[in-house]
Amino acid sequence: MFSRYRKDTPPASDTPKRDSRAVPVHEIASVSPSAQPTLTPQPRPAAPPQRSFKATPKPAGISAQPAANDKDRRRKQRILEVKSELHTRLLDNLNLAALDTASEAELRAEIASISAEALSEINFALTSEERLTLNQDLYFEVRGLGPLEPLLKDDTVNDILVNGPNRVFVERNGKLELSDVTFKDERHLLRIIDKIVSAVGRRVDESNPYVDARLADGSRFNAMVPPVAVDGSLVSIRKFKKEKLGINDLVGFGAFSEEMAMYLEAAVATRLNVIVSGGTGSGKTTTLNALSSFIDNSERILTIEDTAELQLQQVHVGRMESRPPNVEGKGAVTQRDCLRNALRMRPDRIIVGETRGEEVIDMLQAMNTGHDGSMTTIHANSARDAVSRLENMIAMSGIEMPLRAVRSQIASAVNLIVQASRLQDGSRRMVSITEVTGMEGDIITMQEVFRFERTGLEPNGKILGHFTGSGIRSHYSDRFRRWGYNLPSSLYDVV
């Protein structure tokens, strides 16, 4: 059969045909998707949760699966092998240059035809459903990111975390689950990683074992390959959400209370300098993005990020993304470079996606010198911790400054620390809002104005609690009033 998507002289005849049934035993993944234990939390018994040091029984292993499952597993494994065989054939047979211009329908038709031919050749019968899935998977291998593709398309998935070819975890609703997606083997996984990084002109191999990149859809991507990754390549993807969560969504999800939202609106609108602090995946960037909605449309905002994730709604936004060095180690543009340049670009506000290094100096200086209302996030576990992290970053940047001077710089730059947290039930909440009020001696003084008060745990593991004021009026109350934000003092009441 002739097709412009097939090579003129298919090399199939000179490539020795591999009998896909004869895959060496060591190549067969030892764990099948269906037999993998799930990390999804099981409903807890109604009894109050108690700490127990007893070893929890392990989920049933493969050997304990019934025979029917075993058969099922073998068939799935066989299909995986066939898929890999067919994929090799596709690459041999398809004219890759013509593929770029092929429409989705044309390519799908071509794949269906090549796979039908190959299946009949190796005499392997599939149900029509299996055949559809196989052709879909092959399409994703050729056009997309292989087994990752369905997860990338699944809107309920926030993060995709790959620990070697047989373990692909996903995060849904703040909880990690083992998915039933697997790669055929490490080579398959490496091929997909390579596809991603080469598309953005990067390389990953033994000499450059890790890489940061952005997928075409904006998702954040990080990979580390063996031998640095000991048990197979590690991949982390933070999915890009087109619909960013806004303040109302966050209030609706219980991430913070309406009172806190009112307070934060006043704080951002009156140009307090805000740091959103939190652990990894706690919702810092989401919060920063939501807070930015309180910025007036007339302001000129410059954003600086390692991976552009923020999506500001204002008219006047300039976005910058730092750049790692190229393969020769040249051409790096750091966040600090961007920040220094940003100061010459007449910004009203500067937003740095995450302060994690030497740019801290310029960030604090910007906050202190006319670019008030600037915002950033920082990786820390509490407001106090966030301040220590800032001190450490300044110390690490090589600037010789007495600790007192460092602290007074921080105290006058930072007005507010919003602490985000991912609680153990998977929910993400602003667990505290703390104001920096000044210095007493060598100590930076702070006061908490709102916090999440945890009261208990439901039998299903859900955390019970509510938001409350601390009973202390905001240090910035007068400022709020002067700017026209008359927040009632009852806002800060203890509830």
Ligand X SMILES: Nc1ncnc2c1ncn2[C@@H]1O[C@H](COP(=O)(O)OP(=O)(O)OP(=O)(O)O)[C@@H](O)[C@H]1O
Look at the block and give the residue holding tokens 């049933």: 60
Distance separating the N- and C-terminal Cα atoms of the chain? 75
CB contact set of 63 (below 8 Å; sequence gap of 6+): none
Instruction: Please give the residues from 241 up to 300 whose contact with Mg ion meets the rule CB under 5 A.
Output: 284-285
Burial 235-252 (b: 16+ CB within 10 A, else e): bbbbbbeeebbebeebbe
Binding range to ligand X, per CB under 6 A, among 18-26, 73-81, 274-282, 340-348: 274-282
Nearest Cα neighbor of 273 from 382, 370, 415 is: 415
Comparison of 259 and 348: residue with beta carbon closer to ligand X: 259
Asked whether position 469 contacts ligand X by CB under 6 A, the answer is no
Asked whether position 432 contacts ligand X by CB under 6 A, the answer is no
Asked whether position 158 contacts ligand X by CB under 6 A, the answer is yes
Comparison of 284 and 451: residue with beta carbon closer to Mg ion: 284
Binding range to ligand X, per CB under 6 A, among 47-55, 281-289, 294-302, 366-374: 281-289
Asked whether position 278 contacts ligand X by CB under 6 A, the answer is yes
Residue ranges of alpha helices (H) inside 122-241 are 128-143, 148-153, 186-199
- 83, 89, 428, 451: residue in contact with ligand X (rule CB under 6 A): 428
**Token pair in block for residue 132:** 């559809």
Asked whether position 172 contacts ligand X by CB under 6 A, the answer is no
Q: How far is the CB of 171 from ligand X (least distance, A)?
A: 7
CB contact set of 165 (below 8 Å; sequence gap of 6+): 29, 182, 183, 184, 185, 186, 188, 189, 232, 233
Asked whether position 165 contacts ligand X by CB under 6 A, the answer is no
Q: What is the C-alpha to C-alpha distance for residues 295 and 292, in angstroms, rounded to an integer?
A: 5
Asked whether position 285 contacts ligand X by CB under 6 A, the answer is yes
Binding range to ligand X, per CB under 6 A, among 107-115, 211-219, 275-283, 457-465: 275-283
Q: How far is the CB of 76 from ligand X (least distance, A)?
A: 30
Instruction: Please give the residues from 104 up to 133 whose contact with ligand X meets the rule CB under 6 A.
Output: none
Can you tell me whether residue 127 is helix, strand or coil? coil
Backbone φ and ψ of 159, nearest 5° = -125, 150
Q: In this chain, which residue has its C-beta nearest to ligand X?
A: 283
Asked whether position 465 contacts ligand X by CB under 6 A, the answer is no
Give 368-371 contacts, CB < 8 A, sequence gap 24+: 368/409, 368/412, 368/413, 371/343, 371/347
**Token pair in block for residue 221:** 């991507």
Task: Give the binding-site size for Mg ion (rule: CB under 5 A).
Answer: 2
- 250, 272, 274, 406: residue in contact with ligand X (rule CB under 6 A): 250
Comparison of 78 and 319: residue with beta carbon closer to Mg ion: 319
Instruction: Find which of ligand X, Mg ion, none residue 253 binds, CB within 5 to 8 Å per kind.
Output: ligand X
- 89, 184, 238, 475: residue in contact with ligand X (rule CB under 6 A): 238
Characterise 379 by phi-psi region: left (phi > 0), alpha (psi -120 to 50), beta (else). Answer: beta
Instruction: Find which of ligand X, Mg ion, none residue 335 binds, CB within 5 to 8 Å per kind.
Output: none
* Sequence letter at residue 69: N
Which residues of this chain interact with Mg ion, rule CB under 5 A?
Answer: 284-285
Which residues of this chain interact with ligand X, rule CB under 6 A?
Answer: 158, 238, 241, 245, 250, 253, 255, 278, 280-286, 428
